[in-house]
Amino acid sequence: MSTNASSLSPWVESNRQRLLDELFELIRIPSVSTLPEHKADVLRAAEFTASKLKAAGLENVEIIPTEGHPLVYADWLHADGKPTVLCYGHYDVQPPDPLDLWISPPFEPELRNGNIYARGAVDDKGQFYMHVKAIEGLMALHGKLPVNVKFLIEGEEEIGGKSISKYVPANREKLQADVALVSDTALYAEGLPTLCIGLRGLVYLEITAQGAMRDLHSGLYGGAAPNAVFGLIELLAKTKNSEGQIQIPGIYDDVAEPDAAELQSWESLPFSEAAMLRDEVGSTRLTGEPGRSVLERVWSRPTLEVHGIAGGFTGAGAKTVIPATATAKVSLRLVPNQNPEKVVEAVRSFVATHAPAGIVCSVNVLSDGPGLLVNPNHPAIAVAAQAFEDMMGKPTVFTRSGGSIPIVGEFHEYLGIPTILMGLGLPDDGLHSPNEKFKLENYYLGIETVAHFLEKYGA
Amino acid sequence: MSTNASSLSPWVESNRQRLLDELFELIRIPSVSTLPEHKADVLRAAEFTASKLKAAGLENVEIIPTEGHPLVYADWLHADGKPTVLCYGHYDVQPPDPLDLWISPPFEPELRNGNIYARGAVDDKGQFYMHVKAIEGLMALHGKLPVNVKFLIEGEEEIGGKSISKYVPANREKLQADVALVSDTALYAEGLPTLCIGLRGLVYLEITAQGAMRDLHSGLYGGAAPNAVFGLIELLAKTKNSEGQIQIPGIYDDVAEPDAAELQSWESLPFSEAAMLRDEVGSTRLTGEPGRSVLERVWSRPTLEVHGIAGGFTGAGAKTVIPATATAKVSLRLVPNQNPEKVVEAVRSFVATHAPAGIVCSVNVLSDGPGLLVNPNHPAIAVAAQAFEDMMGKPTVFTRSGGSIPIVGEFHEYLGIPTILMGLGLPDDGLHSPNEKFKLENYYLGIETVAHFLEKYGA
């Protein structure tokens, strides 16, 4: 909740409805990057983004074709002697399924209880659009910007960001900046200004099992023929013990533990395990490594998840088949100091060692990126923390996120710049889930906070 | 391959093309009983069956509505003083998926290499239709039948046969017969007359796991929230050890071992584990309980298979979701003396005991039926064995099948009659698989063999 006004407050106030209508228009484009049938929609979202960057007053607007979905670039570079901020976001979204659990349709945004409900509302359309509108507001008020600005918006964040990963190292000079600004995370709690300084990495794999040369009748062959689904189950069950500890040798070897000060700061954050269980998860209990706090488990510990298994019969009714093939979607979240390639090799070795009798297993890497940590004492981070405090009336807390934003690692590696993760989401926003939401007032607050940060940073 | 002619040989010879055309017409009806969208097709297959029974000269033809798919009944009861044979078959078929593995479309029968390739070619359209055509031939030749005959053809065999299971006990008098005749099994080997005297039972279950109240982002919650797909994997992996032995307590308690004579007869059957592995299964090795022969493992040992898991994300690309729910299709094949209800209770108890932390599991029974064994010395079985030998020129062997034909147990229980399992399939016919086939000459041989049996049985 905004407690202090920025210089942009009157402008936001007098443009509230239009700022919302535009976001709704963007959200209505079902830009699901992982589904080939939505390719044209993803392109439409890129075109929409480009047109709004131009309308905001940015220059050199480009829709950059890639092997996948396009990148959108724009800049404004007339603040001589001032620092340059690289604004990043993504206009693609996760698939909306399971559709039957949505209260309102995923691509028809609806205002309820002060929230915008829609796929992509908070991840990341609503959040990167705050940057676009902050620029528009500053340009409308002053006819110029307090800093130099570059925008790079991608359409493959939800599928591993391959194109931007190629583009950044190949365009270091064009993208050179002092700091990157990303709004794709959440406030730690409602009303608490938060800068996220740590992200987990992600290795996303498909593990495939092949048993017989074709599906077999489970009566005629059950007892003698290998079952690819069961074989994959046997293999995957061995990847973790009953307490959630990963059993793949070497996985924990390089894990960097948070230092004592950071761990202590987490303990002072408002956190209720009971509330998380009740309001966000809703299972009978939370799970995970014993002897680690929940925040450690989701922020600074590697994890392994199975997202689904394809293979065999899953339709209505009964089919008595011994499936010949099965594929599991498996990911590992990585923490700072873990090397993604090394993790992939550890998984490959584990799969080779533990493939059940009669089952041939293989590993296909869909994406990989490391975890990372930003120095909270960097000058731009300090200005952002103060800007947040100015707007929200409370000291900014530094947290991590268990999620992965691979581009942050790439900005660090190829551009040598830190990233300010200034997210305005809330912990219960339901990213990647049915009924994803974005608190309406946080959208407006975000526009003002981004503008206020740019003004302070340029001062 | 037919080596001896029956009285029906000239009639079959002069009607070869028509007998094939009619079967093709039946096969083209995609009567997939488990898929609701095929309900009208299943009814069309029932109507086709009824019309052909009438055309063959049978009387009292009825399409009997049920809560599911209809039964088809017909009879001819004018052979005074002669025994009565109850012919059973099923006009429904398994789903054809995976479609991309079919060389020719599943519901467009194609003759290749002397085989009819199509879903249902051998299981069971091609085989029950042999009965219909044997009757037609005998009526055409003699104007009457050598025995009394009743037909009961169902449309739910592939989904558990619920309706016929209700109908048989409620219509004991109408269905009373001396023996049942079923052609839904295979010759042990090409050219080897075979009567199957044992079948495994089947318990088909859905096991459901519930973790969180909704799908969650694996970055934000991975490490603290239970994953329903992984929980189900953990549970299912415990149901068998790495050698395929079922770990559910009590499962093996009531298993009846085959007697020494039967085991010895199996050892004299032509069997090559290497050929089965190479030609039928095609995996790197066969699997199953150590210390048991392959025939024991598929004929006289209980097994557990997972047919598929629904839940989570299995589309193209990557989705980083912690699935809230997952359901596995699981079946157990049962052998004589195992009680299906007791097996279900053992599974329920196992699931309750082993549900992983944070996961709520439940068991839903889709169908259950016991295994059974027929006495090979019963007079009708002996006549059938001789009829088979007459036609094929070799002594008939007695085998079992690892598959399940629940109706055979119900004929035993409610009508007090044994069943002759006179199947003309071959071991590599690919039941329930892509490219299911039926050897063309076995179709004609089956028509003659059924007719020859009826004549001998009535003599």
What are the pLDDT digits (tens) for A192-239? Answer: 999 999 999 999 999 999 999 999 999 989 999 999 999 999 999 999
The fold for domain A9-199+371-458 equals: Aminopeptidase (3.40.630)
Tell me if A403 and B219 make a contact (CB, 8 A cut-off).
yes
Higher pLDDT, B227 or A261: B227
Choose, out of A188, A286, A306, A331, the residue to mutate when testing the contact with B (most B CBs < 10 Å).
A306
CATH of A201-256+294-369, picked from 3.30.420.10, 3.30.70.360, 1.20.1540.10, 3.40.1180.10, is: 3.30.70.360
The tokens for A211 are: 């048993």
Burial category of B69 from C-beta neighbours within 10 Å (exposed 0-12, middle 13-18, buried 19 and up)? buried
Compute chain A's Rg from CA coordinates: 23
In eight-state DSSP terms, residue B396 is P
CA A7 and chain centroid, separation? 30
Which of A124, A136, A157, A436 is an active site residue?
Answer: A157
Beta bridge partners of A59: A75
Q: What percent of chain A has pLDDT over 90?
A: 89
B215: chain A residues, CB-CB within 8 Å: 98, 432-434
pLDDT of residue A5: 77
CB contact set of A330 (below 8 Å; sequence gap of 6+)? A204, A205, A206, A207, A236, A239, A304, A305, A306, A307, A347
pLDDT by residue, tens only, chain B of 459 residues: 445 778 999 999 999 999 999 999 999 999 999 999 999 999 999 999 999 999 999 999 999 999 999 999 999 999 999 999 999 999 999 999 989 999 999 999 999 999 999 999 999 999 999 999 999 999 999 999 999 999 999 999 998 788 999 999 999 999 999 999 999 989 999 999 999 999 999 999 999 999 999 999 999 899 999 999 999 999 999 999 999 999 999 999 999 999 998 999 999 899 999 999 999 899 999 999 999 999 999 999 999 999 999 999 988 888 899 999 999 999 999 999 999 999 999 999 999 999 999 999 999 999 888 999 988 889 999 999 999 999 999 999 999 999 888 789 899 889 999 999 999 999 889 888 899 999 999 999 999 999 999 999 999
Q: Which of B349, B307, B295 is nearest to B332 (CA)?
A: B307
Distances (CA, A) of A63 to A48, A53, A174, A201, A294: 10, 11, 15, 28, 42
Tell me if A223 and B323 make a contact (CB, 8 A cut-off).
no
Which of A22, A41, A92, A123 is an active site residue?
Answer: A92
Burial category of B274 from C-beta neighbours within 10 Å (exposed 0-12, middle 13-18, buried 19 and up)? exposed
Segment A419-443 shows an average pLDDT of 94
Per-residue pLDDT reduced to its tens digit, A302-356:
999 999 999 999 888 888 999 999 999 999 999 999 999 999 999 999 999 999 9
Say whether the peptide bond before residue B75 is cis (omega within 30 degrees of 0): no
B213: chain A residues, CB-CB within 8 Å: 281-283
Tell me if A298 and B223 make a contact (CB, 8 A cut-off).
yes
Phi first, then psi: give them for residue B10, nearest 5 degrees.
Answer: -60, -35
pLDDT of residue B2: 42
Residue B292 near residue A226 (C-beta atoms within 8 A): no
Beta bridge partners of A112: A115
- DSSP letter string over B202-249? EEEEEEEEE-SSS-EEHHHHTTTS--HHHHHHHHHHTTB-TTS-B-ST
Catalytically active residues of B, by annotation: 92, 157
Confidence band, pLDDT 50/70/90 cuts, at residue A3: low
A331: chain B residues, CB-CB within 8 Å: 218, 318, 320
pLDDT at A1 over 70: no
B247: chain A residues, CB-CB within 8 Å: none
Distance spanning both ends of chain A, measured CA to CA: 25
Q: Which residue has the tokens 């079902």?
A: A30
Q: Which residue has the tokens 């489970």?
A: A218
Query: Looking at CA atoms only, how far is residue B399 from chain A in angstroms?
Result: 12
B323: chain A residues, CB-CB within 8 Å: 307-308
Determine the residue of chain A that is closest to B321 in CA distance: A307
Query: Looking at CA atoms only, how far is residue B447 from chain A in angstroms?
Result: 24
Tell me if A314 and B313 make a contact (CB, 8 A cut-off).
no
Q: Which residue has the tokens 């069971």?
A: B124
Amino acid letter, residue A375: N
Amino acid letter, residue A217: H
Q: Which of B97, B92, B95 is nearest to B162 (CA)?
A: B92
Choose, out of A236, A432, A435, A437, the residue to mutate when testing the contact with B (most B CBs < 10 Å).
A432
CB contact set of B128 (below 8 Å; sequence gap of 6+)? B87, B88, B89, B90, B91, B153, B183, B184
Q: Which of A443, A426, A422 is nearest to A23 (CA)?
A: A443
Tell me if B432 and A356 make a contact (CB, 8 A cut-off).
no
pLDDT of residue B404: 82
Choose, out of B230, B272, B429, the residue to mutate when testing the contact with A (most A CBs < 10 Å).
B230
Same fold, A9-199+371-458 and A201-256+294-369: no
Tell me if B224 and A288 make a contact (CB, 8 A cut-off).
yes
Determine the Cα–Cα distance for residues A98 and A378; give it in Å rounded to an integer.
42
Tell me if A319 and B311 make a contact (CB, 8 A cut-off).
no
Q: Which of A220, A298, A331 sits opposite B298 (nearest CB)?
A: A220
Grouping H, G, I as helix, E, B as strand and the rest as coil, residue B46 is: helix
Q: Which of B303, B308, B316 sits opposite A311 (nearest CB)?
A: B308
Tell me what ipTM this predicted complex has. Answer: 0.81
CB atoms within 10 A of CB A192: 16
Determine the residue of chain A that is closest to B356 in CA distance: A242
CB pairs A-B closer than 8 Å: 352
Amino acid letter, residue A425: G
CB contact set of B243 (below 8 Å; sequence gap of 6+)? A357, B288, B289, B290
Tell me if B323 and A307 make a contact (CB, 8 A cut-off).
yes
Residue A229 near residue A434 (C-beta atoms within 8 A): no
Burial A219-236 (b: 16+ CB within 10 A, else e): bbbbbbbbbbbbbbbbbb
Name the region of A114 (left: φ>0; alpha: ψ -120 to 50; beta: rest): left
Determine the Cα–Cα distance for residues B175 and B88; give it in Å rounded to an integer.
11
Query: Looking at CA atoms only, how far is residue B63 from chain A in angstroms?
Result: 24
Confidence band, pLDDT 50/70/90 cuts, at residue A396: very high
Residue B349 near residue B142 (C-beta atoms within 8 A): no
Q: Which of A160, A204, A358 sits opposite B287 (nearest CB)?
A: A358
Determine the Cα–Cα distance for residues B72 and B154; give it in Å rounded to an integer.
6
Domain segments of chain A: what residues?
Answer: 9-199+371-458, 201-256+294-369
Query: Looking at CA atoms only, how far is residue A248 from chain B in angstroms?
Result: 16
pLDDT at A386 over 80: yes
CATH of B201-260+297-369, picked from 3.40.50.10710, 3.30.70.3420, 3.30.70.360, 3.40.50.1000, is: 3.30.70.360
Per-residue pLDDT reduced to its tens digit, A54-67:
999 999 999 999 99
Determine the residue of chain A that is closest to B327 in CA distance: A314
CB atoms within 10 A of CB B373: 17
Amino acid letter, residue A31: S
Determine the residue of chain A that is closest to B285 in CA distance: A358
Q: Give the strand pairing for A115-117 and A437-439.
A: antiparallel
Amino acid letter, residue B67: E
Determine the Cα–Cα distance for residues A274 and A282; give it in Å rounded to an integer.
10
pLDDT at A264 over 50: yes
Q: Which of A36, A161, A368, A434 is nearest to B316 (CA)?
A: A36
Query: Looking at CA atoms only, how far is residue A258 from chain B in angstroms?
Result: 16
Query: Looking at CA atoms only, how far is residue B67 from chain A in angstroms?
Result: 15
Residue A177 near residue A86 (C-beta atoms within 8 A): yes
Query: Looking at CA atoms only, how far is residue B126 from chain A in angstroms?
Result: 18
pLDDT at A143 over 50: yes
Distances (CA, A) of B99 to A233, A337, B105, B118, B313: 24, 46, 8, 12, 21
Tell me if B217 and A432 make a contact (CB, 8 A cut-off).
yes
The dihedral formed by the CA atoms of A217, A223, A224 and A225, expressed in degrees to the nearest 10:
50
A213: chain B residues, CB-CB within 8 Å: 281-283
B317: chain A residues, CB-CB within 8 Å: 33-35, 159, 366
Give the CA angle between residues A371, A375, A381 to the nearest 5°.
Answer: 115
Query: Looking at CA atoms only, how far is residue B207 from chain A in angstroms?
Result: 12
Tell me if B331 and A318 make a contact (CB, 8 A cut-off).
yes
A333: chain B residues, CB-CB within 8 Å: 218-219, 222-223
B357: chain A residues, CB-CB within 8 Å: 242, 285, 287
B401: chain A residues, CB-CB within 8 Å: 219-220
Determine the residue of chain A that is closest to B368 in CA distance: A318
